[in-house]
């Protein structure tokens, strides 16, 4: 028996910087092969919680998926060829399985087992991680009450900081490094009524409110995408690569 989805249908998550990602100028030349091994949470922070010990991490532990996704999509997918390195152990095991199978079933072929094509190697490494998560850097609000009727608004600002660098595989030199920061806003508003009726013998109390919290995962993705975009422009300024059109001409258009 099918169950109704009370939460609504699933949907694709859009990029926080979609317009900026698409507007990155086209690379002059072939796509750059780059590898991402990991992109770790280096903060050690736990989710902010009042009066309880929260063991959940404040930020995602799988942020490398957003790094790879940004590299694949920046500039309409014309800049980078990303090679698999996060699951390298699984990839090597699968290739070994292919070799063993061919050795068994193709050993009698005239030219022997079909050789497996070599893996693509990368000229650049992208390293880095989430290095900061600061909660309650700004907290405030306002409220008022008159004759038992009141309203209040509260807000809180957190920030997440991401650092990434591009390393040359052939020399081991750090070619460039950038840091990006994204704020995470939380907002809560509410109203309440607190009154005594019938000469203080009866009490009426009512309360309503709602809150809006910006997803931390969304903020992490936004900071990572901003870092990738900045690395591309920084590489052009340092003449590691070139745009098809001069940057000045692009801005004029």
Q: Is residue 91 part of a domain?
A: no
pLDDT in tens, 20-75: 888 888 888 889 999 998 888 777 666 666 555 555 566 677 788 889 999 998 98
3-state secondary structure (DSSP) of residue 218: helix
Helices 64-73, 216-237: inter-axial angle, 10-degree rounding:
50
- Residue of 132 and 234 predicted with greater confidence: 234
**pLDDT of 51:** 55
d(CA 74, CA 25): 10
d(CA 32, CA 122): 8
Say how many CA atoms lie within 13 Å of 90 toward its Cβ: 4
How many structural domains compose the chain? Answer: 1
Q: Is residue 103 part of a domain?
A: no
Interstrand relation of 32-35 and 124-146 (parallel, antiparallel or unpaired):
parallel
Q: Is residue 78 part of a domain?
A: yes
Confidence of residue 197 (pLDDT cuts 50, 70, 90): low
pLDDT in tens, 118-130: 888 899 999 988 8
- Average the pLDDT over each of 18-22, 163-167, 207-211 and give the range with the smallest value: 207-211
Q: Is residue 41 part of a domain?
A: yes
Range of the domain at 151: 18-85+122-252
The answer, yes or no, to whether residue 218 has pLDDT greater than 90, is no
The answer, yes or no, to whether residue 232 has pLDDT greater than 90, is yes
User: What CATH code is carried by the domain that includes residue 223?
Assistant: 3.40.50.10610
Q: Is residue 47 part of a domain?
A: yes
pLDDT in tens, 65-108: 889 999 998 988 889 999 988 888 999 999 999 999 988 888 88
The answer, yes or no, to whether residue 114 has pLDDT greater than 70, is yes
Percent of the chain with pLDDT over 70: 68
Q: Is residue 22 part of a domain?
A: yes
Cβ count near 152 (within 10 Å): 15
Confidence of residue 17 (pLDDT cuts 50, 70, 90): confident
Q: Is residue 9 part of a domain?
A: no
- Residue of 159 and 168 predicted with greater confidence: 168
Q: Is residue 240 part of a domain?
A: yes
d(CA 213, CA 105): 58
């Amino acid at each position: 028996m099918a169950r109704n989805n009370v939460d609504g249908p699933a949907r694709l998550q859009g990029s926080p910087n979609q317009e900026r990602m698409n507007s990155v100028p086209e690379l002059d030349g072939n796509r750059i092969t780059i590898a991402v091994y990991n992109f770790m949470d280096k903060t050690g922070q736990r989710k902010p919680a009042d009066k309880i010990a929260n063991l959940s991490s404040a930020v995602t532990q799988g942020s490398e998926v957003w790094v790879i996704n940004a590299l694949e999509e920046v500039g309409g997918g014309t800049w980078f060829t990303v090679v698999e390195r996060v699951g390298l152990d699984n990839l090597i095991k699968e290739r070994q399985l292919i070799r063993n199978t061919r050795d068994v079933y193709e050993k009698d072929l005239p030219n022997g087992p079909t050789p497996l094509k070599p893996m693509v190697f990368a000229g650049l490494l992208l390293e880095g991680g989430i290095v900061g998560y600061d909660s309650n850097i700004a907290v405030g609000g306002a409220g008022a009450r008159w004759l038992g009727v009141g309203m209040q608004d509260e807000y809180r600002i957190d920030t997440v900081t991401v650092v990434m660098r591009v390393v040359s595989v052939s020399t081991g030199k750090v070619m460039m490094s950038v840091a990006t920061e994204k704020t995470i806003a939380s907002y809560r508003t509410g109203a309440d009524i607190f009154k005594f009726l019938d000469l203080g013998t009866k009490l009426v109390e009512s309360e309503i409110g709602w809150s809006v919290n910006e997803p931390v995962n969304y903020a992490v993705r936004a900071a990572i995408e901003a870092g990738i975009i900045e690395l591309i422009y920084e590489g052009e300024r340092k003449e590691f690569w070139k745009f098809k059109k001069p940057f000045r001409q692009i801005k004029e258009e």
